[in-house]
Amino acid sequence: AQSSVTLFGVVDAAVSGYSNKAEDRNVATLLNPAYINRGSVTTSRTVLSNSGYNSSRLGFRGTEDLGGGLAASFWLEAPITNDDGAVGISSFIRRSTVSLSGGFGEIRLGRDYTPTFWNDAVFDPFGTNGVGTNLIATANGLVTPGSASAGFQANPNYVRAANSIGYILPPNLGGFYGQVQYALHEQVKYDPGTTTPVAPLNSSRTGGYVGGRVGYSNNALDIAVAYGSSTVGDNYFLGSTTYLQTANIGASYDFGPVKLFGEYGRSKLARDTVTVNLLPEPTADGYLLGATVPIGPGLVRMSYAQLKLDTHVRNPLLAQAPAPGAQKFAVGYVHNLSKRTALYATYAYLKDENGLDLTVGGPAMATALNGVPLSGKTSRGYDIGVRHAF
């Protein structure tokens, strides 16, 4: 049986440092002329980290030729924390699928990346690893999956969706590619509906996801657009449902001496109600520009990204606060010792605006000083490490 299984993985370790400064944004005003700004607090940390260039993992995969162009395959991939050894193959939450494929394309069942995640990873020179991680992904809660971030409700399906059924187009379409994915919410349905439990109110359809992505690539150009909707809350009795909708477009063009990257993404917390709804539907808009320059066995990487939130307050009596946002710049170098082994160094700088607390990694922003709330100002970090694949 062994011949049908491929064992593969990545062990990526780096010395990483982070320094995150939060500040008191209040100043003396006409109403409070005696206010003395409390200054700032910096939290910093130096660690041995994993996954600074590629995500550390260990996996098992295989394909069986069923004849007639048909194939069955499986893919089980675990995240591992090789810096401290704490997380082994305790789950296959990176990917856990079984597939049937043929001339018609591929049907894939299990836990897999969402279509909407790919543009973040593919069209950023730093992907979603290390201090250089795609700012749009960070704003959508990538760092702590499932946690609220950037004023948004948690989106447990931002990167991957469990219990999903996917369809992927076959590879021979003249450069066109595409996929759709539907993930079951697996919630219990009650009949008569009035027996639906009152608490927790917001779970009877929560967890589902539907999305798709189409693109075109030839030798130099790669461009793709994706859209997906993740159900993050609902209330059976009020008849309301809340979605996190993600749309993005990304492209890269390889000029040879330099390869350029760009991405634009928008996330929206949308509400579907049976009554007039005055609750806000906040949005986050982000764009990113990047470039890579090959130098012998090495690769210089750089990116710049900007993010802006719009709280979309609909109540005319409430003042519209200045829009929170962030900017990020990252630069790095990868030195390939072989196809499997590389040394790398990355530096990243992030500036928070109007109340955001995003970081490039490391400890959370300090939240208070002498009872005064603080909010993010800057975050800096570096990774110096080695990536070994097998």
Tokens standing for residue 285: 């808009």
Which two tokens mark 209? 């996801």
> Binding of a copy of itself at residue 109 (CB under 8 A)?
yes
Q: Is 4 in the site for a copy of itself (CB under 8 A)?
A: yes
331 binds a copy of itself (CB under 8 A): no
Question: Are β-strands 240-254 and 221-235 bridged in parallel, bridged antiparallel, or unpaired?
Answer: antiparallel
Site string for a copy of itself, 138-177 (x = CB under 8 A): ------------------------xxxx------------
What is the closest distance, in whole angstroms, from the C-beta atom of residue 306 to a copy of itself in the complex? 28
Q: Which of 94, 268, 301, 377 binds a copy of itself (CB under 8 A)?
A: 94
Residue 73 or 217: the one with the smaller Cβ distance to a copy of itself is: 73
Which of 104, 176, 190, 237 is the binder for a copy of itself (CB under 8 A)?
Answer: 190
Per-residue contact flags (x/-) with a copy of itself for residues 68 to 87, judged by CB under 8 A: --x-xxx-x-x-xxxxxxxx
| Position 36 contacts a copy of itself (CB under 8 A) | no
Query: Given candidates 24, 54, 55, 58, which one binds a copy of itself under the rule CB under 8 A?
Result: 58
Applying CB under 8 A, the span of 170-178, 270-278, 297-305, 336-344 interacting with a copy of itself comes to 336-344
Contact 301, 333 (CB under 8 A): yes
Of the pair 113, 177, the CB lying nearest a copy of itself is at 113
Number of amino acids touching a copy of itself (CB under 8 A): 80
Q: Which amino acid is at 265?
A: G
Which value, to the nearest 10 degrees, does the dihedral of the CA atoms of residues 91, 93, 99, 103 take?
A: -150
Min CB(298)–a copy of itself separation in Å: 15
Could you please report the per-residue DSSP string of 270-313? Answer: EEE-SS---S---EEEEEEEEEEEEETTEEEEEEEEEEEEE---
- Least distance in angstroms from the C-beta of 29 to a copy of itself: 25
- Token pair 């939240």 is found at 367
Nearest approach, Cβ of residue 302 and a copy of itself (Å): 26
Using a 10 angstrom Cβ sphere, with 0-12 exposed, 13-18 middle and 19 or more buried, the burial of residue 205 is: middle
Compute φ and ψ for 237, nearest 5 degrees: -75, -30
* Of the candidates 235, 169, 187, 179, the residue with the CA atom closest to the CA atom of residue 210: 179
